[in-house]
Structure 1
Amino acid sequence: MNTHMKAICIDAPGSISLTRRAIPAPGPGEVRVRLLYVGYCGSDLGSFQGRNPLVNFPRVPGHELSGIIDDIGDDVPASLGVGQRVTILPYFNCGTCFACRKNRPNACRNNQTMGVQREGALAEYTCVPHNHIIPVNTLSPRDTALIEPLAVGFHAVERARIEPGETVAVLGVGMIGLGIVLAALRKGAHVIAVDLSAQKLEIARQLGAVNMVNAATENVVDRLLALTNGDGPSVILEAAGSPHTFRQAVDAASQCARVVYVGYTKVPVEYETRLFVSKEIEILGSRGATRDDFKHVTRYLEDNPACADIIISKIVPIDTADAAMREWAAAPGAITKILIRFGDYQPENGDEK
């Protein structure tokens, strides 16, 4: 076996390269995974563009993945074995803060996410503690790499407590927003998609969104009010991370609405704060995902396999993954999801478009 592997590294904002690193060996309680697919996340794009305040450089990105267990350290449960197909829960919580004690580890005060605060998985191999391994036997490796980003959207919808028949606006229908669209539709909601990109709005339409609002050409608040007979949506989920969408969510919300923020912005946001009180709205945050969210997405993809074909923009080998990031940064509205394929893995029938 070779002693070194290929990896993608963001060296500094605007600088990304294909590098070689030593192949890690699993320690006690750890499992080594040979990667098959890794998806680029919006946080990876933000890191490359210098917009991610949580990342330090240099950093190997990547936390949306599928792979195969290829080595196991000591003290790993017998339920995990070499050859199993898996994904990884990429959030590492401290176990002692208030959120962890409340059994909400995704909101851990000291959380470290792969590819952000700690090294990611955009390499041929990665080692993680066995309790972060999630076996996935029912999906193709390609579709398995979509579980984590869709789970973030599914978690936000759980936070929103959506009821059948409610009108839900999703501000920003990149990958996380599309997860919100799918989860809201699963709850029986009437979904309005809002984005600056006509291409992304078309994907949301194909996935089931009923109305589309192009923020590049339309007044978002006026359009949302018009689509709801002047009431405004009863649930608004913000997944764009823009000061404008943060404000639009409150301005367009109906009386007694729930507003859920999934994105975040580095700059201050000014609100008309009287609307918080006069509308008696609920403001909620949503962070990451849980194991249950991973399970819900897995079941959804089992039942709706055509979703992946609609969502995935392109699949490239690791040798050109740096160029793919630069391409995405140059035209972010044209790309929803890039998957990186590794090594000599041969896609199965239907595994790639």
Structure 2
Amino acid sequence: MKAVRLTAPNAISIGDVPVPDAAAGDVVIDVAFVGYCGSDLTSFRGLNPLVSYPRVPGHEIAGVVAALGADVDDLSIGAQVTVLPYFNCGNCRACRLGRPNACVNNQTMGVQREGAMTARIVVPRSKVMPTPGLRLRDAALVEPCAVGFHAVSRADVAAGETVVVLGCGMIGLGALMGSLRRGAKVIAVDLSPKKLDIAKSLGAHHVILGGDGAAERIAELVPEGPDVVIEAVGAPATFLLAVEAVGQCGRVVYIGYAKQAIAFDTKQFITKEIDIRGSRNALHADFADVQDWLRARPDVGDLIVSATVPLDEAPAALERWAQDPGGYTKILVSLEEA
């Protein structure tokens, strides 16, 4: 069957892969939509240290159950589903603590193992989540939104607090929506006016154009500093801005990671007595929370999805995104006709 394949840095094409077989406990899924993720973009650019080539990308999945392996009796053929694309070892400290999203041996579909940008995939039942009440297309938005929702959970965001979200890409928009769901006031910051418009449409209370002056503008809106800053860019400037902007005794959560070392003014850690937390992947509960939000806000998908292309056009779509990373929020690949 056809699949998108990253064969080397800056090399992407359509190739053939075997049709997978299902074992006991597995679910066979006919893939309908797959979203391009930022990790797919960095893999294409040769900047993802976790990926190996060749690799089928894609872990933002919407599909339909096509067949069930032995011992799977709680799903129906034809059910619409999404997939938790993270595979954990079950033995490391994170797994034993009940935090498999942070597994030291994590393997994510499309990165360390084959992804879903092909017509059919097979995954364990434990990785499959039904998506009742969602448009099939929008089920592909659950995973990227859930990564942002998980960061909100890590931040312990509470109703009435002020949250600054740095970066309005897909993950940052997930953090924005997760914060709104908890009743927070959200200030969104990005370099792209287009993405700030989307953030505003999704419910951001204020938007700020990033770059020089962003810290001062945040201070004007929140003189004592926000309760929480969520960094969803992964750039040295925003890593530093998060610590500078957060209020006394506030919380900083990093989702993105910078590709080079950063020199912090560590005095701020102490004098502000701030909490600094990392956020990785997402949990079942985050997926469920996102589904609740998307069912209540059926307009979200139309606001977020920038383009939908068929499988044969997927390589060209990724190349366009690489040339204009600020021009797209979410590109979906449709496999309904593949």
Task: Please report the TM-score for the alignment, with normalisation by the length of structure 2.
Answer: 0.97
Tell me the residue number matched to 1:190: 185
The answer on whether the counterparts of 1:55 and 1:117 sit within 8 Å (CA) in structure 2 is yes
**Pairwise mapping of residues 1-353 of structure 1 onto structure 2 (< 5 A)?**
5-74=1-70, 76-216=71-211, 218-229=212-223, 231-344=224-337
Task: Provide the C-alpha distance between the structure 2 equivalents of 1:51 and 1:199, rounded to a whole number of angstroms.
Answer: 26
SS of alignment partner, residue 15 of structure 2? strand
Q: Alpha-carbon deviation of 1:49? A: 1.4
Q: Alpha-carbon deviation of 1:27? A: 2.0
Paired residue type of 2:241: Q
Task: Provide the C-alpha distance between the structure 2 equivalents of 1:197 and 1:91, rounded to a whole number of angstroms.
Answer: 30
Moved more, 160-169 or 92-101: 160-169
Task: Provide the C-alpha distance between the structure 2 equivalents of 1:25 and 1:48, rounded to a whole number of angstroms.
Answer: 28
Q: Alpha-carbon deviation of 1:332? A: 0.8
Any unmatched runs of 5+ in structure 2?
none
The answer on whether the counterparts of 2:134 and 2:295 sit within 8 Å (CA) in structure 1 is yes
Tell me the residue number matched to 1:350: none
Task: Provide the C-alpha distance between the structure 2 equivalents of 1:268 and 1:222, rounded to a whole number of angstroms.
Answer: 25
Moved more, 94-103 or 207-216: 207-216
Task: Provide the C-alpha distance between the structure 2 equivalents of 1:220 and 1:55, rounded to a whole number of angstroms.
Answer: 34
Paired residue type of 1:289: A
Moved more, 133-142 or 94-103: 133-142
The answer on whether the counterparts of 1:154 and 1:179 sit within 8 Å (CA) in structure 2 is yes
SS of alignment partner, residue 181 of structure 1? helix
Q: Alpha-carbon deviation of 1:192? A: 0.8
Q: Alpha-carbon deviation of 1:234? A: 1.5
Q: Alpha-carbon deviation of 1:224? A: 1.3
Task: Provide the C-alpha distance between the structure 2 equivalents of 1:27 and 1:58, rounded to a whole number of angstroms.
Answer: 25
Task: Provide the C-alpha distance between the structure 2 equivalents of 1:168 and 1:343, rounded to a whole number of angstroms.
Answer: 38
The answer on whether the counterparts of 1:192 and 1:211 sit within 8 Å (CA) in structure 2 is yes
Q: Alpha-carbon deviation of 1:90? A: 0.5
Ranges of 4+ aligned residues in structure 1 off by more than 3 Å: none
SS of alignment partner, residue 17 of structure 2? strand
Q: Alpha-carbon deviation of 1:344? A: 2.5
Q: Alpha-carbon deviation of 1:140? A: 1.3
Task: Provide the C-alpha distance between the structure 1 equivalents of 2:160 and 2:67, rounded to a whole number of angstroms.
Answer: 48
Q: Alpha-carbon deviation of 1:340? A: 0.6
SS of alignment partner, residue 180 of structure 2? helix
The answer on whether the counterparts of 1:160 and 1:258 sit within 8 Å (CA) in structure 2 is yes
Task: Provide the C-alpha distance between the structure 1 equivalents of 2:50 and 2:208, rounded to a whole number of angstroms.
Answer: 31
Moved more, 46-55 or 264-273: 46-55
Note the aligned Cα RMSD (angstroms).
1.2
Moved more, 218-227 or 330-339: 218-227
Task: Provide the C-alpha distance between the structure 2 equivalents of 1:108 and 1:73, rounded to a whole number of angstroms.
Answer: 26
Q: Alpha-carbon deviation of 1:137? A: 2.1
Task: Provide the C-alpha distance between the structure 1 equivalents of 2:63 and 2:132, rounded to a whole number of angstroms.
Answer: 11
Paired residue type of 1:293: D
Paired residue type of 1:224: I
SS of alignment partner, residue 313 of structure 1? strand
SS of alignment partner, residue 56 of structure 1? coil
Task: Provide the C-alpha distance between the structure 2 equivalents of 1:177 and 1:283, rounded to a whole number of angstroms.
Answer: 17
Task: Provide the C-alpha distance between the structure 2 equivalents of 1:152 and 1:180, rounded to a whole number of angstroms.
Answer: 8
**For each residue in 1:201-251, what CA deviation from the matched residue of structure 2 results, as whole angstroms up to 9, or x when unmatched?**
1100111112111114x422222112212x221200000011111111011
The answer on whether the counterparts of 1:53 and 1:266 sit within 8 Å (CA) in structure 2 is no
Task: Provide the C-alpha distance between the structure 1 equivalents of 2:337 and 2:314, rounded to a whole number of angstroms.
Answer: 16
Task: Provide the C-alpha distance between the structure 2 equivalents of 1:204 and 1:53, rounded to a whole number of angstroms.
Answer: 30
Any unmatched runs of 5+ in structure 1?
346-353
The answer on whether the counterparts of 1:44 and 1:115 sit within 8 Å (CA) in structure 2 is yes
Task: Provide the C-alpha distance between the structure 2 equivalents of 1:50 and 1:117, rounded to a whole number of angstroms.
Answer: 14
The answer on whether the counterparts of 1:33 and 1:69 sit within 8 Å (CA) in structure 2 is yes
Paired residue type of 2:239: F
Paired residue type of 1:270: A
